[in-house]
Amino acid sequence: MEVLDLRPLLAPLVSFACAALVVVARKNVFWRRFWSLCAAVLKLVVVLSMLPGTLAGAVYHTPVITLSPGVSIAFRADAYGLFFALVTSTLWVVTTIYAIGYMERAEQRARFFGFFAVCVSTTVGIAFAENLLTLLIFFELLTVATYPLVVHAETPEALRAGRIYLTYTMAGGAFVLAGSLMTLSAAGTLSFAHAGILGLDAGRATLAVIFMALVIGFGVKAAIMPLHGWLPIAMVAPTPVSALLHAVAVVKAGVFGITRVIYNVFGADLLGELGFASYLGALAACTILVASVMALRQDQLKRRLAYSTISQLAVAVLAASLLTPLAALAAVVHLANQAFAKITMFFGTGAVREMTGKTHASQLAGIGRQMPYTMGAFTVAALSFVGLPLFAGFKTKWYLSLGALHADAWWFLVVMLLSSLLNAAYWFPIIHRAYYGQRVAQPERSGRRQGAGLDVDRDAAGATAASAGGKREAPLVLLVPTLICAAYVILLGTTAAVPGMPTSIALIAVYETFGLAGPVR
């Protein structure tokens, strides 16, 4: 049942207000931290408060401005939107804590935390968008708001990365705009509906152009190959940004957009008849494998993470394009599964870099003895990606495989198996080296934290040679968020059938979309 409620609007507004307060607080460290944390928690509370209602079948909606008949800015928190919002706002809380620790000595922190808040705000706006126009507005705002975070270091390298990032994403935005306009002129409305809003009467050619425009547009952010070029380059951003934005907010916004297009603009029935989704599925399958092979070849940890992200996102896109309920369920839960596991890895990588200055997989010999908790969390995430039972990633693989079998697409099982093997091939060596590898005696680049006592200048710290022996775990402000995320990975993997847990919302989302009354087959 539809319920008029202000909360779908309130959730994005909370972090916009936070951004304003952070800018006002500027130099005052305490208030800046206070407002950042306060807004993160408040937003989570707002989103959580909608959970009981959604589980009971309510859909909250907030109309804001009507531009012309059929075109409006409006918010609507259906189960799928709420699921996505829940993932981002939970992760915002942990990432804010991590970022406060990580960015301690960085410059322009007011700008950083301000735009950080705007990004989360736009992500929730995307989650709760009632129609394509609202989605597009927040999609473009997200692009604009992430730019200052990508170029945060202000180095020529960062500026170049920023340029490439903008070129890709602005072009993507233009495709979404064109696709939305064509949808509006073909369907007369932009509001998402469970059965889709387009019909066969629009003509097969027109529908093909619309599908391509929208999928390319959202596909840029979802980094489907060959539209993925910006993601590894954007890894120049500070770690919390890479973690939240390039593992969760930005890329997931792309996947979310694609699922909305598939299920709520076209509708599973229409797409099944048209057969466009199978091309998308094939592309996604290629992306899964190619990106995994690329990840194998990366030594720099953040780049390996980036390619792994590309591969994981394609899993969600593949799941969505199979058009069966169980595969759709896989696409939904994968949003959370991948997000928590990937953010754990980013946090771990950031902590290692912070403590030891090491950024490459080949340098990590012995790091597991040095930072046992951090690497423990990292291991949990890696096991989840490989898809071991009891870890979150297993559930994606399970549902996706079942969904693929329902769709008579057995070859996707082969893809999933290969993907698991490849994941094992690029994560396990790191873990093995971290726990069993012998450190080569060589002068190492020290981390920022070691050099900090001697000199304040960040660049000079790199030159200071320091031995990194014994146990030196990351400070709690970095470690606790990492461990929370790792715990979540296990939680998601073990509580699939527990009512009230994220999976149950995902189930409701799938019931809604496919118009099912009972449990998914």
Q: Which of residues 2, 24, 28, 154 is near other proteins by CB under 8 A?
A: 154
Nearest approach, Cβ of 151 to other proteins (angstroms)?
Answer: 5
Applying CB under 8 A, does 209 fall inside the site for other proteins?
yes
Applying CB under 8 A, does 13 fall inside the site for other proteins?
no
**Rounded Cα distance, 450 and 428, in Å:** 28
Applying CB under 8 A, does 166 fall inside the site for other proteins?
yes
Q: In what order do the strands lie in the sheet with 71-77?
A: 2-4, 59-68, 71-77
Nearest approach, Cβ of 400 to other proteins (angstroms)?
Answer: 34
Q: Which residue has the tokens 């030159």?
A: 463
Strand partners, 4: 61
Applying CB under 8 A, does 174 fall inside the site for other proteins?
yes
**Rounded Cα distance, 86 and 256, in Å:** 13
Cβ proximity to other proteins: between 143 and 446 the closer is: 143
Q: Which of residues 162, 232, 447, 493 is near other proteins by CB under 8 A?
A: 162
Side-chain half-sphere exposure of 469, counting CA atoms within 13 A: 5
Applying CB under 8 A, does 137 fall inside the site for other proteins?
yes
CB-based burial label for 495 (10 Å; 0-12, 13-18, 19+): middle
Nearest approach, Cβ of 206 to other proteins (angstroms)?
Answer: 9
Applying CB under 8 A, does 201 fall inside the site for other proteins?
no
Contacts (Cβ under 8 Å, ≥6 apart) of 452:
105, 461
Contacts (Cβ under 8 Å, ≥6 apart) of 170:
143
Nearest approach, Cβ of 43 to other proteins (angstroms)?
Answer: 21
Applying CB under 8 A, does 177 fall inside the site for other proteins?
yes
Q: Which of residues 9, 25, 182, 301 is near other proteins by CB under 8 A?
A: 182
Angle formed at CA 455 by CA 368 and CA 453, multiple of 5 degrees = 55
Applying CB under 8 A, does 68 fall inside the site for other proteins?
yes
Cβ proximity to other proteins: between 28 and 66 the closer is: 66
Query: And the tokens for 325?
Result: 């309920």
Nearest approach, Cβ of 21 to other proteins (angstroms)?
Answer: 17
Site string for other proteins, 26-65 (x = CB under 8 A): ---------------------------------------x
312 touches 396 (CB < 8 A): no
> Three-state DSSP class for 211?
helix
Applying CB under 8 A, does 151 fall inside the site for other proteins?
yes
Residues in the chain: 521
How many Å separate Cα 389 from the centre of its chain? Answer: 22
Q: Rule CB under 8 A: which residues touch other proteins? A: 65-68, 73, 133, 136-137, 140-141, 144, 148, 151, 154, 159, 162-163, 166, 170-171, 174, 177-178, 181-182, 184-185, 209
